Amino acid sequence: MKIKNKFFFQTHDVLAEKRLDVIEYLRIKGVDNEKYLKAYDYFVVNNTQFDGATIVKDLNDLPHLPLAAMLHDYEYLTTLKSVHWTSWIQTKVRLDWEYGQNLESLGKGTWIPYIRAISLIISTPLYPVFIIYKKITS
């Protein structure tokens, strides 16, 4: 498994300082930090699971840390795994749309966040194929 973002591979002391930066950044943006800090703390412990903004690298809010992508990764890992298959597609679409909303609330524009969200939604039928492919090749 190739790790695309190594932000969380820093010392605990550095990550504790960066956590304060996340709090300050979200305060400045006027965004509630609770869900972001929950995701941040999750990846401090599970650093190999953080992928970040896979395709577009200009979404970083702090150096090497795209907060909306961090939250989106966290929600995929925690929420989608616990959802029954009958509501999986609906939940994934909701999480993808919320990703667009989060990008917008963090100042990433008004069109691009939703283009990204719609792209993720359109790719939903391919997602199970991608998961199977990753399991076969790893």
Give tens-digit pLDDT for 18-66.
999 999 999 999 999 999 999 999 999 999 999 887 666 668 899 999 9
Per-residue model confidence (pLDDT) at position 84: 83
The DSSP-derived string for the chain is ---S--TT-S-HHHHHHHHHHHHHHHHHHT---HHHHHHHHHHHHSGGG---SSS--TT-SBTTB-HHHHHHHHHHHHTGGGS-HHHHHHHHHHHHHHHHHHHHHTTS-SSHHHHHHHHHHHTGGGHHHHHHHHHHH-
- On the question of pLDDT at 128 being above 90, the answer is no
Cα–Cα nearest to 70, from 97, 104, 47: 47
Torsion of CA 34, 37, 39, 45, to 10 degrees: -140
Residue 17 reports pLDDT greater than 80: yes
For the chain, the structural domain boundaries read 12-137
With a cut of 90, say whether residue 74 has pLDDT above it: yes
